[in-house]
Every structure is written in structure tokens, then in C-alpha cells.
Amino acid sequence: MSTTAAPVDGASQEDLTRLAERWEERPSLRSWLSTVDHKKIGRRYLVTAGLFFALAGISALVMRTQLARPESRLLSPQEYNQLFTMHGTAMIFLFATPMLFGFGNFLVPLMIGSRDMAFPKLNALGYWIFLFAGLFMWASLPFGAAPNGGWFAYVPLTGEQNNPGLHIDVYTLGLLFLGIATTAASINFIVTALKLRAPGMSLNRVPLFVWAIVATAFMVIFALPALNVDNAMLFLDRRFSTHFFDPQAAGNVLLWQHLFWIFGHPDVYIIVMPALGIVSAVLPAFTRRGVVGYALVVLSIVSIAIISFGVWVHHMFATGLPQLSYSFFSAASTVITIPSGIQIFAWLATMLLGRVVLRVPLLFLIGFIVTFVLGGLTGAMFALTAFDQQVTDSYFVVAHFHYVLIGGAVFPMLAGAYYWLPKITGRMYHERLGRWAFWLVFAGMHVTFFPMHLYGLFGMPRRVYTYRGEPGWGGWNLVSTAGSYLLALGLLLVLAGMVHAIRRGRPAPPDPWGGDSLEWSTDSPPKAYNFPVLPLVHSVHPTWDDATRSSMGADATADRILADGRRTLFTSELDGRRERAAEMPEPSLQPLLLALGLLVFFTAMLLAWYPVAAVAVLAVAATLAVWLWPPRRPDRELGVSP
């Protein structure tokens, strides 16, 4: 007669064994290549984006060294243009959004009480495309063929006549390739957040980080097509002599800027929005209370996502468009500061009303608020047409967007990295080492970029590889360069702290901070199946809620353990009512093979090997056909429950 072990978090030992058999992947090369586990994919996003960040950071240090003194000859104009372009392109497209999507990949299913993303194979495909697109672009640098027209690639400077060679072709094809991954990830986040939430997690109980990720995903879906069309038209102009941007053939050079900034300004918030979600996720653990004004913060997230699509022309105030049109975009650029301010005041009120515990993640959040507010003040100045026209293409603009993007994205990323490191790795970081890293990063950032406001106002233009000594910019540039090395030292200390934690950190408990969201109710790191029992959510702070915690206890029912299969629950979009259990896909090599086929296609298009590109299209189509072929058996369903 068989016996069953005592329940563990509501699931018996027999249940846990069956869950492990269906969800865990045996270590092997094939398993590494075929995994669809959202946690492994999330970690890969974080590491890969971190490597691209390091490459972009090294490029920045070389550029700052070039600019430290007047008339420096460390770099030629051609080399500087390539490093300058790859720095901006990598930071925007290969680091910021993928790094934040890496946090989303790891955390969203855990925060909503699911066992995986809605489309695990699509999730794996997105990562492989991101990796190959990044390598596609960075591999051009050693051959002297890297993009060289700035991350904005304005025409006619990037047309074939003014910029021959493969440089801009690498840019256009690389971003088109990468856009597939970004779109796939966005669709996956939207469906996951709408359909895979734990029972009881209605929309008014969704974590603020998940709200931010979903808003970002919708922004990507609406903004990215403009950039894709722009890049496709530029590639066709360069390679097949079309005339989309040629004024002599009824084209329009400003069409590039309109389409680019229709994507480009929402992209600022595509980068910043998940970072703001990180702030709202981290803050409760170190203030011992929920974020003040949950509903207002959600409304501000949605408002920013909508208003951001109406401000793109403030990047074009110096292009000679009709003055009347400027007034509308100036007003929108001012209005968008209101929902951002709501979140700032909500966080300040949370710290004021809570019991603050000053640890490294909170230090980075405080650094974020200080830096982001300063960047926001200069951003509001750009809404004034007259001021914008005075400082356009000066280093004042460079100072502003680094304050916004480093303050608004990198500082929250570092706060999130320290906060979730125990959950991701199962190890605790060294507190003193983390504090030293914070102060070096904070000081280095301000020493680097604050002087740029000054020599920008003194007339130093952007995008120059050297300058003469007479204007008196040399001293301020030397200060900025010294600050850049201080910032790099701080980031190296962050990396050293992460490596130290992974190798020598003490084991992390499931919830070292007293966090309020569901990821802290799992092991550190979580098991392959995330939750032995899918929770029944009763509040917006489920880990602090006795009823939610007890729902994963000994009285849990079989329809929330789902031990018989590789399954998770689908729930209704609005109120989180249980609908059915669906079978999730097994690990597969199809995402890797499809990404490789796309890599061959884009490489062949770059090198004008059009027969090879045609073969690659057929291979991609065949792989997709196998992928989408109906399974032999339908998903097992539990049926709809009230």
C-alpha cells in the first residue's frame, strides 16, 4: 500500500515529484539551446543586454577620452562616427529595452502567479533574435562597416550618395531584425498579463510593475511600425534606388524625421516606463507599506503611454515647420510632465508615510528621484520653442537625455538588480560593497553630465569628434571625461558585487526583504514550475495578505496544483476568474532554428546575396509551418469554474 508524504505548501511530495518531472529540464547542450523556461530566458536577456551595455560603455569611454582635450587625434572622424553611432544605437536598442524586458521575462509570470509566459516558444524566439541582431550589428565594427550616421540616422546624410558602403545598411537591417524580437516580446507580455493571472487577481490587484510592462508593450506595438517602415524605405532608397526621401523625385527628407520621432519619443517612455514600474515594485519592501495612490499611479502610467504619442515634433522645432503646429506639441510636451509628477509625489509620500529601511536598492531609488527630476526640469524647458531652438544640436541636449535615461532607467535597473538578485540567483549581495558602488555611480554620473549643460550653453555642438581650444570648452570636457571614468569605476564595482554575491554570497531565504508581491512567496531561486500551488489572490499585496498565503496551504485543491501535466491556469481578462487549464509547450529547438534562418536572411540581404536570401525565406517558412502545425492532441482543460 503506497503512502503519500505530508503536504508541502498545499502540494504533496508526490505532486511535487510529478511537477518536477514535467517542468524541470535535464542539464545538457540540447536543453540549454531548446529551453522555453521564462526564468532562464529572462536571465539570458539580462546577461546579454549587460554585455552589450559594456561594449557601448567602452565606446563612450573612448569617445570621452577623445574629447578630453582640444584637437585630440586618438580617433579619426570615421572611427569616431562609428563608435558614436554604435554607442547610441546599442544603449537605446540593445541595452535599455532588452534589459527591462529581461526583468519582465523573469518577474511577470511570478508576480501574477503563473508558471510561464503565455507563449514560451515565442519568448525563446525573441531572445535568440535579440542576440543575433546584436551580434549582427556589433560584428560590423571590426570590419570598419559599423553604422556611422548617429542612432537617429537622419537623411540625406545617410543616403547612398552621402554615405556609401554598408554602414547604414547594417543599421537599417539590424533594427528591422531586432524589431521582430521586440514585437514578439510585447505581444507575449500583453497576453500573459491579461490571461495568465492567478485566480482572484482582478485588474485592481495587478502589481504596478506589471502595469508598467503591459503599457510599454502596447506602446511598442503602436510605435515600432513607424520605425520599421522608416528603415525599410531607407534600405530600399539605398539598395534599389527608390525615392522616398529624395526631394528631386517628390520625396521628402523630413518624412524620415517624422516617422523616426513618432517612434523615438514614445521610445523614451518605452525605456523609462518599466523602470518606473521597478521603483513602484521595490519601494514597498523598504518603506513597509504599499505605494500611496495605487489607482492614480495606474492612471498616470496609462496617461503617459497615450500622451507620449503626441509630442514627437518637439524634436523638430528647428526644422521650419509651421509655427502654429509647434504650439500644440509644445502644450503636449508640457502636459506629459503631470502624470510623471504624480508618480514622483506618490513615491515621496510613500517614503514619508512609511518606515524607511535604507538599503542599497533604496539608495539607487533616491538617486533616481534626484537625477530624474533634474532631467525632467530641463525636459520641460525644451517644450518652449524659443529655448529649444537656441540649444538644438548643442551639448545641453546631450546632458538632458543622459539625465533622463541614466537617471530614469539605469538607476532603477540597478535598484532592481540588487533587489531581485536574491530571487534570481539564490544569493545575497554584500551591503557595504553595494553602497560604495552607489556613491561612485551617483557621483560619476553627475560629474560627467552636469558640465555638459554648461558647455552646451557656451555653444559646443553635438556630434563633433574634436574642437579648437579658443572657445574654452577644454576644461569642462576634461571634467566630464574624469567623471566618465568615475562612473565606469562605479559600474565595475556593481559587477564585482554581483559576481561576489553569486560566488560567495550567503544563501537567500525566499523573502529576504519582506516584499509584497507573489515572487517572494516562491523559493530563491524559484523551481522550474514556479508555484507548487497557484495562489488565490485576495489583495494588491498578496504576500502580506493572510488569505492569499493560506490559499497555497494544505487545503489547496487539485485544480490549482495541476500536477498532472505541464499546465498553467488561464483566467478572465478583467476580474481574474478561473477559465481553464492549458498545456504549455515542451522545450524546442524551433525558436533557435527560426532565428538562425532570419539571421541568414538579413546577412544575405546585407551582402546582396539575394539567392541565399530566397533560400533562407523558404527555410524560415518551413520552420514556421512545423511550428504552427496543429498538435496531435488538444490542450487538456478543466472547464470553466465560477
Lowest mean pLDDT of 100-109, 184-193, 374-383, 510-519, name the range.
374-383
Mean pLDDT across 536-551: 91
Identify the three-state secondary structure at position 268. Answer: helix
Q: Residue 579's closest CA among 569, 587, 588?
A: 569
CA 478/CA 451 separation, integer angstroms: 10
Over residues 410-420, mean pLDDT: 97
Query: Alpha-carbon distance 21 to 15, whole Å?
Result: 10
pLDDT at 240 over 50: yes
pLDDT band at 380 (very low <50, low <70, confident <90, very high): confident
What average pLDDT does this structure show over 399-413?
94
Answer yes or no: is pLDDT of 441 > 50: yes
For the CA atoms of 206, 212, 218, 220, the dihedral, rounded to the nearest 10 degrees, stands at -150
Contact between 124 and 43 (Cβ < 8 Å): no
Q: Would the pLDDT of 3 be above 70?
A: no
Give the model confidence (pLDDT) of 93-126 as tens digits. Answer: 999 999 999 999 999 999 999 999 999 999 999 9
Is the pLDDT reported for residue 268 higher than 60?
A: yes
CB atoms within 10 A of CB 219: 22
CA torsion 484→489→492→496, rounded to 10°?
-160
pLDDT (0 to 100) of residue 39: 96
Place of cell 540581404: 605
Q: How many CB atoms lie within 10 A of CB 119?
A: 19
Per-residue pLDDT for 195 more than 90?
A: yes
Tell me the C-alpha distance between 40 and 128, whole Å: 13
Q: Parallel, antiparallel, or unpaired: how do β-strands 578-583 and 567-571 relate?
A: antiparallel
Residue 638 has pLDDT above 60, yes or no: no
Please state the rounded mean pLDDT for residues 60-67.
96
Helix (H, G, I), strand (E, B) or coil at 578: strand
- Under a CB-based contact definition with an 8 Å cutoff, are residues 276 and 302 in contact? no
Q: Assess whether pLDDT exceeds 70 at residue 561.
A: yes
- Tell me, what's the pLDDT at 97? 93
pLDDT, tens digit, for every residue of 325-377?
A: 888 999 988 999 999 999 999 999 999 999 999 999 999 999 999 999 999 99
Mean pLDDT (the chain) is 92
Residue 250 pLDDT more than 50?
yes
pTM for the structure as a whole? 0.94
160 phi, psi to nearest 5 deg: -60, -35
The rounded distance, in Å, linking the Cα atoms of 20 and 13 is 10
Confirm if 520 and 511 have CB atoms less than 8 A apart.
yes
Strand (E) or helix (H) holding 12: none
pLDDT at residue 557 tops 90: no
Where would I find the H helices in 354-430?
A: 360-382, 385-391, 395-405, 411-425
Query: How much is the pLDDT for 361?
Result: 97
pLDDT at 5 exceeding the cut of 60: no
Is residue 9 very low, low, confident or very high in pLDDT (cuts 50, 70, 90)?
A: low
Which pLDDT score is estimated for 639?
Answer: 39
Closest C-alpha to 372, from 402, 395, 334: 402
Cis (ω within 30 of 0) for the bond into 512?
no
Categorize the per-residue pLDDT at 1 as very low, low, confident or very high, splitting at 50, 70 and 90: very low
477-492 average pLDDT score:
97
CA dihedral 373, 218, 197, 351 (to 10 degrees): 10
* Predicted local confidence at residue 2, as pLDDT: 34
Q: What is the mean pLDDT of residues 466-472?
A: 88
pLDDT the model gives residue 471: 85
* Straight-line distance from the first to the last Cα atom of the chain, in angstroms, rounded to the nearest whole number: 36
Greater confidence, 225 or 559? 225
pLDDT value for 436: 97
Question: Is-contact 238 168, C-beta < 8 A?
Answer: yes
- The Cα 109–Cα 111 span in angstroms is 6
